Structures are given as structure tokens and as C-alpha cells.
Amino acid sequence: MAGNTFGRILQLTTYGESHGPAIGGVLDGFPSGIALDLGLIALEMDRRRPRGQAGTPRREDDSVEWLSGLHPDADSQGRRLSLGTPIAFMVRNSNTKPTDYDALTDVFRPGHADATYQAKYGLRDVRGGGRSSARETAARVVAGALAKQLLGPSVVIRAAVERAAGIQAIPPSAWDWANRDLSPVACPDLIASAAMESEVSRLREEGDSAGGIVYLEILGLPLGLGEPVFDKLHATLGQGMLSINSVKGVEFGDGFAGADLRGSEHNDAPSLDGTVQSNHEGGITGGLSNGRPVTLRIAFKPVSSIAKDQLAYSSDGQVQKLQINGRHDALVLPRALPIVEAMAALVIADALLLQKIHFRQ
């Protein structure tokens, strides 16, 4: 089953189901002649794998099969050139257990898209949520890794866990980003990381789950990137983030906290030496990048599949007890980081391509 298309110039369409034969995608509008290191795509996919006490026991190989859009011959560094035609790819599902969902055929799980999919389509794929499963995001990570290489090293897109299971890290301005990869929950504050991991482990033992907040920053953008009205840069970034499973909120810069400030406090005015020290707007003014880091916070709800007894509707409208079995994450945030970065890369690459069309750069 194919999904909707994301993007205007650089367009991504994903397809497949969580317990079907494969997940895949088609990335259209990708320029020709870009040397692509496919090994970097594998590294991004590896970041999406479950880790520590937070992750699901499900393990997939997640190797990418390239179907079209790349020159068959690699250069001396092992890179392959993009042809300018749609880049199609596939990631096979090998570790599926559809029988885990047999008991859910006539039950609508709380927090899941079961009832809404049934209402929209008149039927649904019970196995792991089908099209609504986060397994679909594997295709986004592949496409985002391609978009990162299109952007080049001058644009840095990085995300980390700032809050999880009710535990807050120190402010991102004080982070050592190298610590992110040392943390089982991908939090650069290693003291908060240990507390998060302990709390998530406790919740998993209770059959419960946790949510939290991902901090994302984008460095190295040129001034004026974005569109002035409906496709403001923060609008398209917001759309990208809100299209990710379990995301319930996005804020830029000071976000909602900025609503309590005065204009004199919130305005990013220059100091006497001509530099701007603050970034209350999060790098976007009037819908366009202003040259400062673009900063976002993305709120993820707790994972909906929990082992605790719950009440749920059956397909005939009755309320019944439900306990969800199978393999599920207790905290999805560490695995969500490459997905968040991928969607940001796709949005930024799309905006840059649109900018080139507007101004014939």
C-alpha cells in the first residue's frame, strides 16, 4: 500500500506494511550527478535500531535494496551517482510475527489508529498496525540520509533526547553532543540519561511506557530559506515532524514559553557590537531562515502498546479488557532521532531546490 507524497520538489512516497514483505519508498526530484555514499545510509538505519531497555526485542536486518535511480557503477571511493530519475528502494521485513496480533482482530486498541483506519477505509491490517506502524519510518530514514548528502557537510542536522519519562536534561546549550552516542537513551546529559534509563526500565517491568521531548537543531542554513506565506519554513518543518508516528507537538525557539515574555525580551535584537546573542525565534523570522540555528522541540506521546490491562472497544462497540502482547518499545525517542533528522533533511533539501528554481541559482 502506497502512502501520500511528502514534499514539493523533492518528493517522497513510502509503501508497505509493518508485517508485510517489505517497506520501501520512491524519492523523486533528486538531482542528477550527486555522488552518494550508500554506507552512510546503512549507518543511519543502524541508529534507528532498538537499543537498551527502551527498545523492542524485534530485530530486523534493515539492509537497503536499491531498485532504480542510481548509476550501476561505483566511483573509486565506492560512491554511486544519482541519475536524476526516481530513486526507488526496498527494505525487507524478515523478523515478523503476525500471529502476535490474532487476538486483536476485533479489538480497537487505545491510542492506536485501529478505529480511525476502520472508519476511513472500512477495513484494516491488524498485524502491528499495518500502514500506521512506525515500521513505515524506515523508508523515511533512507530518504533522509540521501537528502543529508544532497545538502552536504555545510548543513548540520542533529537531534537528541532532552526529556524522557518525566526527567529533564540540562539545557542543550550546555551539552557535549559527543555524549549522545554514549547514552542508551541518546541524551547528551549522562546524569539525566542514567535516570531516564532507570525509570524506563522500571516502567517496562510494570508493563507501561513513556514519552518525552526531542531537541533538534539545524546549523548552516543560508538566510531567506523558506516561503513567505503558507509554506513558511517552520510550517513545512512542522508538517514533517507532525507526520511522524506519536508526535503530538512541535515548537520553535522559545515556543510556548515565549508567549509569557515581553516584546523587549523576545526580540532577537543585536548588541552594540552588531552581533545577535539570543535566538528566541529559533532561527526563523517571517517564515524564512534568519541565519541563526533553527531549533525545534518535538513532543512524543508515550508508546501506546503496553502490557498493562486496559479497557478497549470491540468492533461491535462493547467495552472489554485488553492486554497487548508482542514486542514493543517502552520508549521510542532514541529510535526516533534519525527519523526526526530525516524529515528535517527532506524539508530543508526541498526548500533549497525550490529556492534555486525561484532565483535560477
Choose the weakest-confidence range: 13-17, 249-253, 327-331: 327-331
Q: Tell me the pLDDT tens digit for each residue of 111-143.
A: 888 888 888 888 877 776 767 888 899 999 999
Report the alpha-carbon distance of residue 199 to residue 112 in Å, rounded: 24
- Answer yes or no: is pLDDT of 2 > 80: no
Given a contact cutoff of 8 angstroms between Cβ atoms, the answer to whether 288 and 228 are in contact is: yes
Closest CA to 200 of 112, 299, 331, 81: 331
Residue 98 C-alpha cell reads as 503476525
Cα angle 77, 80, 85; round to 5: 165
Q: Does 126 or 242 have the greater pLDDT score?
A: 242
- Cβ atoms of 357 and 11 within 8 Å: the answer is no
Predicted confidence at residue 53, as pLDDT, reads: 55
Confidence of residue 99 (pLDDT cuts 50, 70, 90): low
Q: What is the pLDDT of residue 50?
A: 73
Model pTM score: 0.93
**Bigger pLDDT: 110 vs 284:** 284
Q: What one-letter code names the amino acid at 29? A: G
Pair 132, 113: CB distance under 8 Å: yes
Radius of gyration of the chain from its Cα atoms, rounded to whole angstroms:
21
Reported residue count of the chain is 361
β-sheet with 35-36: strand ranges across: 35-36, 80-82, 70-74
For residue 101, the SS3 value is helix
Is the pLDDT higher at 3 or at 182?
182
Q: What is the mean pLDDT of residues 90-110?
A: 76
In tens, the pLDDT along 154-208 reads 999 999 999 999 999 999 999 999 999 999 999 999 999 999 999 999 999 988 9
Look at residues 137, 155, 182, 130 and name the one whose alpha carbon lies nearest to residue 44.
Answer: 137
For a pLDDT cut of 90, what percent of the chain falls above it?
Answer: 68
- Write the pLDDT tens digit of every residue in 304-341: 887 788 888 888 888 888 777 766 789 999 999 999 99
Q: What is the pLDDT of residues 200-238, one digit of tens each?
A: 999 999 889 999 999 999 999 999 999 999 999 999 999
Superfamily of chain region 2-359: Chorismate synthase AroC (3.60.150.10)
pLDDT band at 358 (very low <50, low <70, confident <90, very high): confident
* Confidence category of residue 146, pLDDT binned at 50, 70, 90: very high
Check residues 283 and 93 and name the one with the higher pLDDT: 283
Q: Which of 16-30, 78-92, 256-270 has the lowest mean pLDDT?
A: 16-30
Inter-residue contact 41 to 150 (CB < 8 Å): no
Q: Once rounded to an integer, what is the mean pLDDT over residues 241-249?
A: 96
The DSSP code sequence of 250-279 is EEETTGGGGGGS-HHHHS----TTS-----
Q: Which of 344, 239, 355 is nearest to 288 (CA)?
A: 355
Give the pLDDT score at 263.
93
- Per-domain residue ranges for the chain? 2-359
Rounded to the nearest integer, the mean pLDDT of the chain is 90
Lowest mean pLDDT among 159-163, 238-242, 263-267: 263-267
Phi, psi (degrees; rounded to nearest 5) at 26:
-130, 125
What single letter denotes the amino acid at residue 141?
V
How many angstroms separate the CA atoms of 281 and 295, rounded? 8
